[in-house]
Amino acid sequence: MELRQLECFIATCEELHFTRASVKLGITQPSLSHQIKTLEDELGVQLFDRIGKKIAITEAGKILYNQSKLALSNLSNAKEQIEELMQIERGTLSIGALPGELSQLVSSILLDFHNKYPKVRIKVFGVEDIVTRILQNELDLAITILPVGDDRIDSIPLYQERFYFVATKEHAYASRKAIDFNEILHVPIVMFPETHRCRQLIDMTCSSAGLKLDPLIETSSIDSLFELVRSGGGGTVLSKTLIEMYHFDDLVHIPIQGPALCRQVGIVYLRDKYMGKASQGFIQALRAHVKELKQDNQLKQCDHEEQ
């Protein structure tokens, strides 16, 4: 069983199409088919069910796919460790973050990180499905809301923050010092869609309190959300980070209580993945940046928010 055969097999599993897999690998389709056939002959099992022009992975194929991904990941980790042993700090660092303020948090330290590790290529992805991308080894680490609920993933907490009700200064609630969660349900609300992690946290809080949020308008764009709120289309619920990031003088933000709405943000990474110097350096830089934000009162812990 050769490494090239496994690479061909993995690409075919992920594309479920011989032509697309061959293009992805930069080889001809007959060459790809030959590699797969040789692998099947060696193992004595069929790895794909071929139904017309379509293919599907067999049970044996699924076992080989999972083990092959693990084997290639281990080889990649070994190569990285050997390179660092030789003091070669290079390669690619792939970082994921939930779209919005967490992507902005990552971007805020990229220049300083690049100056320290000029040979490292950095890729930043704004993605909602952080866990899947981490498990598929497509990301070295990611910034997301904790917990992620998967034993294969380790996490490093960064900070906790509170959510606020945000509206114009003309809103009926604008003069309030605090607002009960259930009161938000009785006014027009503009929110992110249900696929957004922040929205899911809010919906989960509602459900735990026996409440249901029914937004008047949903948008996946942060800019359009703020535009709708500022034009009087309704209030919204946002994190402290996002409020500070945009900082519109014509909006007010009011602490939510009964229950208060908080989230914990942290770094996640695959438990068995080797953390190289670049990954460790990025984590250190991010933790230092968050510490500075806390000292400047741009990040306030849930237990210490003003009431």
Cα angle 262, 265, 267 (rounded to 5 degrees) comes to 165
Q: Which residues constitute the domain of residue 50?
A: 3-84
Same domain, 215 and 139: no
Same domain, 77 and 109: no
In angstroms, the CA 304 to CA 226 distance is 26
Give the CATH number of the domain where residue 130 resides.
Answer: 3.40.190.10
Same domain, 129 and 203: no
Same domain, 154 and 178: no
Check whether 306 has a pLDDT greater than 60.
no
pLDDT of amino acid 79: 80
Same domain, 133 and 282: yes
User: For the chain, what is the mean pLDDT?
Assistant: 88
Q: Which tens digits make up the pLDDT trace of 91-113? A: 789 999 988 778 888 988 999 99
Closest to 81 (Cα-Cα) out of 271, 269, 275, 272: 275
Same domain, 62 and 107: no
Same domain, 135 and 117: yes
In this prediction, residues 115-132 reach a mean pLDDT of: 89
Closest to 234 (Cα-Cα) out of 187, 177, 194, 178: 187
pLDDT of amino acid 277: 81
Same domain, 132 and 272: yes
Same domain, 58 and 99: no
The answer to the question of residue 63 being in a domain is yes
The answer to the question of residue 305 being in a domain is no
Same domain, 164 and 254: yes
Check whether 303 has a pLDDT greater than 70.
no
pLDDT of amino acid 245: 81
Check whether 152 has a pLDDT greater than 80.
yes
Give the CATH number of the domain where residue 20 resides.
Answer: 1.10.10.10
In this prediction, residues 173-191 reach a mean pLDDT of: 93
Give the CATH number of the domain where residue 225 resides.
Answer: 3.40.190.290
pLDDT of amino acid 92: 83
In this prediction, residues 266-270 reach a mean pLDDT of: 95
| Residues 186-217: b if buried by 16+ CB within 10 A, e if exposed | eebbbbbeeebbbbebbbebbeeeeeebebee
Cα angle 159, 122, 298 (rounded to 5 degrees) comes to 25
In this prediction, residues 261-283 reach a mean pLDDT of: 89
Number of compact structural domains in the chain: 3
- Residue 259: cis peptide before it, omega within 30 degrees of 0: yes
Give 229's pLDDT tier (boundaries 50, 70, 90). very high
Check whether 279 has a pLDDT greater than 80.
yes
pLDDT of amino acid 77: 82
Amino acid at 146: L
Same domain, 48 and 64: yes
In angstroms, the CA 226 to CA 109 distance is 25
The answer to whether residues 124 and 95 touch, using CB atoms and an 8 Å cutoff, is yes
